[in-house]
Structure 1
Amino acid sequence: MSKEMITALDILEKEKGIKKEVIVEALEAALVSAFKRNYGQAQNVEVEFNDRKGDIHVYAVKKVVEEVEDDQLEVSLADALMINRAYELDDEIRFEVTPKNFGRIAAQTAKQVIMQRVREAERGVIYEKYGQYEDEIVTGEVSHRDNRYVYVDLGGVEAVMAKSDQIPGEQYEPHDHIKVYITKVENNGKGPQIFASRTDSGLLKRLFEQEVPEVYDGTVEIMSIAREAGDRAKIAVRSNDPDIDAVGTCVGAKGQRVQTIVNELHGENMDIIEWKEDPAEYIANALKPSEVIDVLFNEEDENYCMVIVPDYQLSLAIGRRGQNARLAAKLVNFKIDIKSETDASEYAEEEDSEESTEETAE
């Protein structure tokens, strides 16, 4: 080892931001392992790296005992006193055991340690950079795909998008530029791993923030989102300014604002409804475009309600394959039982009949 090593450590600290002390500590630990591996030594050793001269020294550390049982780990008190009269039992003494050819092994080990630390530092920089993008939208370029993921180049690092995060029907071809929502950034043994999504509700929220200034600045607030990606979504919004219409603001003049989002999501339909503090009003809004006659709540189950709609609007309230009812229930976090006006009347008559029977029996 030489002063070239010191120069290299100084450059790494300046260019990569890796502190010299960190590398020296890792190097000393690695050299202990290298010494034991190459010289078949089981003794307790320490390696000392002089970060001014670049010299390396190996020391065997032995404990002072009355009677030696293992001469690789222990030294007798009598021998210790011959070295220095101040030594006592249980003291530790370091004996230099640096092999003559240890410099070559040390150089190889140092190279491996430095390369590893550089990789770790680069991973740390990537993690720090993209960790701040978690829960945000970024634009990337599709690089390739396999059976598990679509890989999106974010500029020097790839994000992975699992099948569950890909919008059904969307095709992702190399060099396509797409907006993705970063759901999670992990820093594991393989380095930073970035997970992206096109189906997460967070993507929709961020798109509205981009297109609607009032949502971005908090004047209009997105209260809830229910989404079946690629097909349809319901968004509940409210205004924190009585002079601003939350729904109209999100839709935009001639529907321009919401249409930009629909286009970005390749035709995903958007139902923007007004959030209401009153659960009955909120549920009625959530089932639009269907009309709602009444919303009845169950005292025994606070998350259940029966919604009565006009007979001719039952299919509209339920929606194609039950989608409208399903999204509405998810949006308001209620179990919704939709009944037509006729069915609701018959149901009420049956309930009354059962109650009468029970009273008669009593």
Structure 2
Amino acid sequence: MSREILFVLEYMEKEKGIGRADMISTIANAVKTAAQKGVNSGQELKIEINERNGQMHAWALLKVVDSVSDPKTEIHIERAQALQPGAQLGDIVEQEIDPSTLGRIAAQTARQAVMQRLRQFEKERIYDDFKDQVGNIITGTVRRRERGDLYIDLGKAEAVLRSREQVPGEEYQPDERIRCLLLAIDSTPRGPEIILSRASPKFVRRLFELEVTEIADGTVKIESFAREPGYRTKIAVTSTDPKVDPVGACVGARGARVKTIVRELGGEKVDIIKYYADPREMVLEALKPAVPRDIIIDEASHRILLKVATEDLAVAIGRKGQNARLTSRLIGWRIDIEEFKAQGDDPVQNAIDLLVSTFGLDAVIAAKLVEMGINSPSAFEGVEAGDLIDAGFSAEEAQGIISRVSAAAPQQA
């Protein structure tokens, strides 16, 4: 048995990193507990294992008495003094016993204890190895997909990238390398579970901290942050050094730094703006290139009403309201956007004038276009000559309109 124990001690120490003292304590306690419940029931035992050779020694702890009523727990004083000279009544003496007499159940229990300790150690090791990396970006290899979740091999452990923490549109194949934020370590009945994320705003923030040295050393600070994973991120930055342009530092020479981050995000757009404590200045900066004609701030309810010209309305609101939502999160105020209408203005005439000035169209044709719903240059997107003919224009008129719009497009770009 000593060779088996020595093999277990050496294996656990070299391959699993579990110290000998730890394993010896585990095996000894398991053998002792099992033996006291089995053939040595009711007997107090002492178990020791030599860490060098794996030799196990066992002793029965017996109370010295002058009349023995229970041989398992008591020993006559004469025998006790033969084992331990000077033993007195009431003392506890140790009588060595053959470990093989402890029973087969004790050996099986020891084996189970070793396996249990190994599982427990691996769980503890996962937590200890990764607890200090929470909030950092780590690299792993995609192993498999289960019910929408990706399981990532980190080398020492396996982590999970939940479907809600994945970026819409991103697809990963088995054996593909992936970078993620270590979001948390959750306790489960099966042990610690490492949770990863690519959708968290903290992931992009950490990418900037790694890519932009001025952020890492504290010269540039990210004051506020808003993200819609896979679509767009907005960050507002300041600088503690007046000589350092915070936006320029994040963008990098010829956009090198931000391009690296955009590549990691799979093409997600990143807007970097200068931070202002004043919400009015902040909203003006965040909405560029759209320029509000009027700003109404309600301090009490933390709301901002923006009135935007017709041609800027689509830019200000963004695709499916994306720009407005991100700006609202970035500033921390609720934002409402509506079309600007000057007092006494005729919106129909304004739209006609806009088409005339932009494309050089005849006013009558421009009025007809506005009547069919084309009231701004952006409204021509996707419109073809056939659509205009269907709306009542002649083929010649339709072709003339499309030609003027096409000619003006490069100038607008």
Name the TM-score, length of structure 1 as normaliser: 0.75
- Cross-structure match for 2:336: 337
CA distance in 1, matches of 2:217, 2:30: 53
Instruction: Report the alpha carbon displacement of residue 234 of structure 1 after superposing the two structures with TM.
Output: 1.0
Deviates further, 274-283 or 44-53: 44-53
> Which amino acid is the alignment partner of residue 295 of structure 2?
D
Alignment partner of 1:31 is 2:31: yes
Q: Is the 8 A contact 2:29 2:47 kept in 1?
A: no
Aligned counterpart, 2:199: 199
CA distance in 2, matches of 1:61, 1:277: 79
Change (3 A) 1:133 1:99: closer
Give 1:322's aligned residue.
321
Paired with 2:33 and 2:149, the residues of 1 have a C-alpha distance of: 39
Change (3 A) 1:101 1:119: same
Report the Cα offset of residue 150 of structure 1.
0.5
Please state how far the C-alpha of 1:28 moved relative to its aligned partner.
Answer: 2.8
Indicate if the aligned counterparts of 2:39 and 2:103 stay in contact, CA closer than 8 A: no
- 1:284 is matched with which residue? 284
Equivalents in 1 of 2:8, 2:255: separation in Å? 61
Task: Show the counterpart of 2:235.
Answer: 235
Aligned partner of 2:308: which letter?
P
The question of 1:308 aligning with 2:306 is answered yes
Amino acid at match of 1:142: V
Matches within 5 A, 1:248-267: 248-267=248-267
Question: Quick check: 1:2–1:55 contact (8 Å CA) kept in 2?
Answer: yes
CA distance change for structure 1 residues 9 and 321 in 2, over 3 Å: closer, same or farther? same
Structure 1 window deviating more from structure 2 (332-341 vs 146-155): it is 332-341
Structure 1 position 79, deviation (Å): 8.2
Letter in 2 for 1:195: I
Stretch moving more, 249-258 or 53-62 = 53-62
- Residues 34 and 243 from structure 1, CA distance in 2 versus in 1: closer, same or farther, beyond 3 angstroms? same
Aligned mates of 2:277, 2:27 — CA distance in 1: 63
Distance 1:344 1:324 in 2: 27
**Matched AA of 1:325:** A
Q: What is the total number of aligned residue pairs between the two structures?
A: 331
SS at match of 2:273: strand
Q: Which residue of 2 aligns with 1:297?
A: 298
Distance 2:64 2:327 in 1: 74
CA distance in 2, matches of 1:256, 1:323: 26
Structure 2's unaligned 5+ residue stretches are: 81-86, 345-413
Matches within 5 A, 1:120-159: 120-159=120-159
User: How many angstroms does 1:133 deviate by?
Assistant: 2.5
Q: Which residue of 2 aligns with 1:168?
A: 168
Among the aligned pairs, what percent are the same residue? 38
In structure 1, what is the Cα distance between the partners aligned to 2:77 and 2:192? 51
Consecutive unaligned residues in structure 1, runs of 5 or more: 346-362
Alignment CA distance shift 1:107-1:21 (3 Å)? same
1:21 is displaced (CA, Å) by 2.9
Larger relative contact order (Cα-Cα within 8 Å, sequence gap ≥ 6): 1
3-state SS of 1:132 partner? helix
Q: Counterpart of 1:359?
A: none
Instruction: Specify whether residues 297 and 344 from structure 1 end up closer, same or farther in structure 2 by C-alpha distance, changes over 3 A only.
Output: farther
1:57 aligns with 2:58: yes
Q: CA deviation at 1:204?
A: 0.6
Cα–Cα, structure 1 residues 63 and 205, in superposed 2: closer, same or farther, change >3 Å? farther
Rounded Cα–Cα distance in structure 1 between residues aligned with 2:7 and 2:149: 43
Question: Is the Cα contact below 8 Å between 1:63 and 1:74 reproduced in 2?
Answer: no
Say if 2:211 is the partner of 1:211. yes
Q: Which moved more, 1:32-41 or 1:206-215?
A: 32-41
- Where does residue 411 of structure 2 map in the other structure? none
Give me the whole-angstrom Cα distance separating, in 2, the residues matched to 1:226 and 1:5: 58
Give the residue type in structure 2 aligned to 1:317: A
Shift of 1:25: 2.4
Q: What is the Cα deviation at residue 223 of structure 1?
A: 1.8
Counterpart of 2:402? none
Could you state the TM-score of these two structures normalised by the residue count of structure 2?
A: 0.67
Contact kept, 8 Å, 2:38 with 2:103, in 1: the verdict is no
After superposition, the Cα gap between the structure-2 partners of 1:101 and 1:273, relative to the gap in structure 1 and judged at 3 Å, is: same
Distance, in Å, in 2 between the alignment partners of 1:258 and 1:14 is 45
Verify the 8 A CA contact 1:63 1:73 in the aligned structure 2: no
Secondary structure of 2:276's counterpart equals coil
Q: Structure 1 residues 97 and 187 mapped into 2: Cα distance closer, same or farther (>3 Å)?
A: farther
Match of residue 393 from structure 2 = none
Which stretch shifts more, 20-29 or 163-172?
A: 20-29
CA distance in 2, matches of 1:24, 1:167: 48
Larger Rg: 2
> How well do the aligned residues superpose, as a CA RMSD in angstroms?
3.8
CA contact (8 A) 1:167 1:198 kept: yes
SS in 2 for 1:289: coil
Shift of 1:123: 4.4
Greater alpha carbon shift after TM alignment, 126-135 vs 167-176: 126-135
Is contact 1:208–1:250 with CA below 8 Å preserved after alignment? yes
